[in-house]
Amino acid sequence: MLKDFETKKHEDKSQLNAEIKELQSKLLGQQQLLMQAKLPVIVLIEGWAASGKGSLIKEFISELDPRFYHVESPKPLPQSQERYPFLYPYMKAIPINGKVTFLDSGWMENVVRKYLRHEITKEEYRCMIRQVNEFERQLRDGGYIILKIFLHIGKQEQYDRLYRLVEDPGTEWRVDQDDLWQHKEYKRFMEAYDDFMEKTGDIAGWHVLDGNRRKTATRDALKLLVQRIERGIEEGKYEGSTSEEDFPLKEMPKLADVDLSPSIDDEEYSKELKKLQTRLSELHNIIYRKKIPVILCYEGWDAAGKGGNIRRVTYALDPRGFDVHPIASPLPHELNRHYLWRFWINLPKTGHICIFDRTWYGRVMVERLEGFCTDKEWRRAYHEINEFERMLTDWGAVLIKFWIHIDQDVQLERFTNRENTPEKQWKITDEDWRNREKWDEYEVVVDELLQKTSTKNAPWYIIESNDKKYARIKTLRIIVKALEKACEKNFKRLME
């Protein structure tokens, strides 16, 4: 607790300097071990304005190889970042396995400022606290080492430091209005920091260091990191928790019970397609103006007709306002980060539509079946995905998930057709045939994921696609209806 924190000025500098040097060289020695153990480390340094966060980071990195770490300073957040979920810049900044990211202030400062500026309600504040805890737990479970430090200085000390900075024309620019506001509202900030730390210490504990005693704080911070890494290397990659929380779920049928006979005649199809596309086009305008982010997820059997379905949607959209992200096997730099990272960084900004052609559900389908992740990892993923999606809908996103469904006979027909049509041959590969052989295994895992992740806020829709045209119309209707509902409200108020 900051309010009971006792700070002192005195310290034995030469003794401390020697200790710091020793710890820095220990840290240097840990570089290689971390790389070998493929452990990623996040060091979050929060604290008062002028408490010495930058200088502390300098001491952390002074002996390190630049290939080994990255310093991220997401404050002040560029305005463009405000168009993403508030944890977006931090997720974007997570290191790859074996490396360290130092964050010069992060999610704590971001949330506390928003709260004290009344940009968010109490309700939203609580929601963000929950998201922070989920974020930290997911990273920890993904093998990330997280060290959180708060640099504390008293009000008088802060005054002296800000005064010295402002007086010197060379450093005056370093003090901005926000810093002066913080100083003026020192007490309110202290209470808010305390509250935040109290509520977010479970996954990775907070370490409050005395910014008054620079050398001592540096020594302590270095020691914390060195010890934390030592422990991490000793214990090996964290295997993850199995926390369970019940999300309100929508009941889903088994795939085997879905009637795939629905169809549509050509005339009605043309008429409906035109009507729905026109309406979708209008809605895209409103979405853009109201700054509502939209995320459409496509999963389904090979040759189920995802591509054609997506094209009927995008044809109605302004190409400046949407992106399609085709998801293939992760590239090395994606594989070496948290599995959700590559989806996070491709989230749409507010007012934009983003279509994922295959999604994060790969983890509980192909990665599970092919053994690309551990048992614990895919079992945990349902829960992590539900949290991820709740974060998105809490943010205000419209999130719709489609399972494009066909039966085995239709798939065989389409595969054969592809093989016999020269322009379509590229669409069919040996892997498709191999996957087809595993149809039954896939059906089990798909049934399971539909049961476990069809939450009220982000439900699944099974789209009968034996008749592709029927499927397209159904999909468009669902999208139009969801957007109409969303457009009745305004973004930013959706969270309440």
In terms of CB distance, is 15 or 171 closer to its own copies?
171
Q: Decide if residue 173 touches its own copies (CB under 8 A).
A: yes
* Residue 367 Cβ vs its own copies, minimum distance, rounded to whole Å: 20
Q: Please, what is the angle between helix 214-235 and helix 13-37, to 10°?
A: 30
Q: Decide if residue 384 touches its own copies (CB under 8 A).
A: no
The one segment of 23-31, 121-129, 375-383, 447-455 that binds its own copies by CB under 8 A: 23-31
Site size with its own copies, rule: CB under 8 A = 51
Q: Decide if residue 318 touches its own copies (CB under 8 A).
A: yes
Q: Decide if residue 274 touches its own copies (CB under 8 A).
A: no
The one segment of 73-81, 138-146, 204-212, 224-232 that binds its own copies by CB under 8 A: 73-81
* Residue 354 Cβ vs its own copies, minimum distance, rounded to whole Å: 11
Give whole-number Cα distances, 340 to 57, 101, 321, 330, in Å. Answer: 28, 18, 23, 11
* Residue 427 Cβ vs its own copies, minimum distance, rounded to whole Å: 9
Map the footprint of its own copies across residues 213-272, applying CB under 8 A: none
Q: Which residue, 444, 463, 349, 451, is CA-closest to 400?
A: 463
Judging by DSSP bridges, how do beta strands 398-405 and 294-300 pair with one another? parallel
State how far the Cα of 90 lies from the Cα of 246, in Å rounded to an integer.
Answer: 27
The one segment of 29-37, 126-134, 144-152, 217-225 that binds its own copies by CB under 8 A: 29-37
Q: Which residue, 11, 450, 90, 61, is CA-closest to 250?
A: 450
Helix (H) or strand (E) holding 104: strand 100-104
In terms of CB distance, is 256 or 331 closer to its own copies?
331
State how far the Cα of 450 lies from the Cα of 452, in Å rounded to an integer.
Answer: 6
Q: Decide if residue 285 touches its own copies (CB under 8 A).
A: yes
State how far the Cα of 307 lies from the Cα of 325, in Å rounded to an integer.
Answer: 12
Considering only 41, 44, 71, 364, the residue that binds its own copies (CB under 8 A) is 71
Q: Decide if residue 456 touches its own copies (CB under 8 A).
A: no
In terms of CB distance, is 309 or 453 closer to its own copies?
309
In the sheet that 353-357 helps form, which strands lie side by side, from edge to edge?
322-326, 353-357, 294-300, 398-405, 460-464
State how far the Cα of 175 lies from the Cα of 163, in Å rounded to an integer.
Answer: 9
In terms of CB distance, is 85 or 240 closer to its own copies?
85
* Residue 80 Cβ vs its own copies, minimum distance, rounded to whole Å: 5
Q: Decide if residue 286 touches its own copies (CB under 8 A).
A: yes
Judging by DSSP bridges, how do beta strands 41-47 and 294-300 pair with one another? unpaired
Do 177 and 371 contact (CB within 8 A), yes or no? no
Give whole-number Cα distances, 67 to 161, 208, 223, in Å. Answer: 33, 29, 22
The one segment of 175-183, 223-231, 319-327, 374-382 that binds its own copies by CB under 8 A: 319-327
Q: Decide if residue 46 touches its own copies (CB under 8 A).
A: no
The one segment of 65-73, 270-278, 385-393, 404-412 that binds its own copies by CB under 8 A: 65-73
Q: Decide if residue 166 touches its own copies (CB under 8 A).
A: no
In terms of CB distance, is 240 or 300 closer to its own copies?
300
Whether the link from the prior residue into 76 is cis, omega within 30° of 0, is yes
Q: Decide if residue 331 touches its own copies (CB under 8 A).
A: yes
Q: Decide if residue 371 touches its own copies (CB under 8 A).
A: no
252's tokens: 């889903």
Judging by DSSP bridges, how do beta strands 294-300 and 353-357 pair with one another? parallel
Q: Decide if residue 102 touches its own copies (CB under 8 A).
A: yes
In the sheet that 69-72 helps form, which strands lie side by side, from edge to edge?
69-72, 100-104, 41-47, 145-152, 206-210
Maximum distance among all Cα pairs of the chain, rounded to whole angstroms: 87
Map the footprint of its own copies across residues 401-440, applying CB under 8 A: 423, 426
Give whole-number Cα distances, 234 to 14, 199, 216, in Å. Answer: 32, 29, 27
Considering only 249, 324, 366, 495, the residue that binds its own copies (CB under 8 A) is 324
**Which residues partner with 69 through β-bridges?**
100
Binding mask 332-361 for its own copies (x = CB under 8 A): xx---------------------x-x----
In terms of CB distance, is 74 or 154 closer to its own copies?
74
Q: Decide if residue 488 touches its own copies (CB under 8 A).
A: no
Q: What are phi and psi of 41, to 5 degrees?
A: -130, 135
Residues near its own copies (CB under 8 A) are 28-29, 31-32, 35, 54, 57-58, 61-63, 65-67, 70-71, 73, 78-80, 102, 104, 170-171, 173-174, 282, 285-286, 288-289, 307, 310-311, 314-315, 318-320, 323-326, 328, 331-333, 355, 357, 423, 426
